[in-house]
Amino acid sequence: MSERIIITLGRQFGSGGREIGKRVAKELGIAFYDKELLTRAAKESGISEELFQSNDEKPTNSLLYSLAMSNFSGEMPLNHRIFLAQFDVIKKIAKEESCVIVGRCADYALRDYRNVANVFVHADMEYRLDRAINLYGLPEKSARGIILRTDKQRANYYNFYTNKKWGSVDSYDFAIDSGSVGVDNTVALIKDFALIRAGRK
């Protein structure tokens, strides 16, 4: 009954997923990894942190792109190496401690781990536009485009590296519209779900 609490959290841009994940981690008193994952993966892989940042959740696009990235050197393309370094760090973290890990196909990296709570946070466009403009400070004119582009990128990345589909209910144990009940209630419901999933409740 002292199972670790491991939460992976996918999220639509503007849904508040990052903030929600952070609060879930804080209230449960467990670690939180979003960009923090990149720093650690960079340190442990020897690849520079800047390269992790610029390749973060970016899809591979095409074989041609992969070939270009590999510079015809026969080495594995950089974006794949970065993905695998993240993968290793995610698995290591989940073995060490209870945590919330945002994005980066963590659900797939941990698919053989017991009792991981794979959560997805989404919201309708109106709610996400409001957050993107008024909380994240995106320009009103370009907010919708940025939201759609970012989600497209996350979907491509996820669909490329996993055998699942980003944003399909089947890919998650628990998916919630943060706009339907607000951030506080979403935090509470995810906490409940994760505690049950870990056999703590």
Where along the sequence are the contacts to its own copies (CB under 8 A)? 117, 120, 122, 124, 167-170, 172-177, 180-181, 185, 189, 192-193, 196-197
Question: Minimum CB separation from its own copies for residue 177, in Å?
Answer: 4
In contact, 93 and 101? CB cutoff 8 Å = yes
Pick 36 or 130: Cβ nearer its own copies: 130
Residue 41: C-alpha distances to residues 70, 91, 95, 103, 163 (Å): 20, 11, 15, 14, 23
Pick 112 or 170: Cβ nearer its own copies: 170
Pick 82 or 119: Cβ nearer its own copies: 119
Residue 2: CA count within 13 A, CB half-sphere: 1
Pick 92 or 165: Cβ nearer its own copies: 165
Q: Taking the CB of residue 11, how many other CB atoms lie within 10 A of it?
A: 23
At CA 15, angle to CA 199 and CA 123, rounded to 5? 90
Question: Minimum CB separation from its own copies for residue 160, in Å?
Answer: 19
Question: Minimum CB separation from its own copies for residue 120, in Å?
Answer: 6
